[in-house]
Amino acid sequence: MPLESMRQLAEHFFSAIERGDLEAVRNIYAHDAIIWHNTDNASVTAEENLEALDSFITNIPERHYTRRRLDVFEGGFVEQHLLKAKLKSGKEVSLAACVVCKVREGKITRLDEYFDSAALAAWR
């Protein structure tokens, strides 16, 4: 996959999450994609991740990725960003994260997300 196409895929992925477009996210994941988070060391399927994203989108109606630093390479991409969000209560929160993705045939096959779980205390 050309690097510019990889960049567009990554940007489309995060933009879909910002918009709350789960169908677009579903179409970016490979059917057998694995999603892993450092906070619980558990791997989930794309469908399980989409269920979690649905809850996230419902409970966090406003979300934007800022301070985005995207690096693409043959076979995937890495994005470091600051997620800024507004909870249903109106409270503004943020979370710094790093996402590492493996991509095959234009689909994310593996996503590893790293963030400090202590920062989520402010989200409650």
Q: What is the CATH number of the domain that holds 119?
A: 3.10.450.50
Express each pLDDT in 43-60 by its tens digit: 999 999 999 999 989 888
Encoding tokens for residue 38?
A: 């450092």
Gap between the Cα atoms of 45 and 93, Å rounded: 27
- The count of structural domains within the chain is 1
Gap between the Cα atoms of 124 and 5, Å rounded: 38
Residue tagged 């994310």 (tokens): 108
Gap between the Cα atoms of 20 and 53, Å rounded: 8
> Residue 98: pLDDT band by 50, 70, 90 thresholds?
very high
Encoding tokens for residue 68?
A: 């985005």
- Report pLDDT for 122: 66
> Residue 116: pLDDT band by 50, 70, 90 thresholds?
confident
List 21's β-bridge partners, or say none. none
Which residue range(s) make up the domain with 64?
3-123
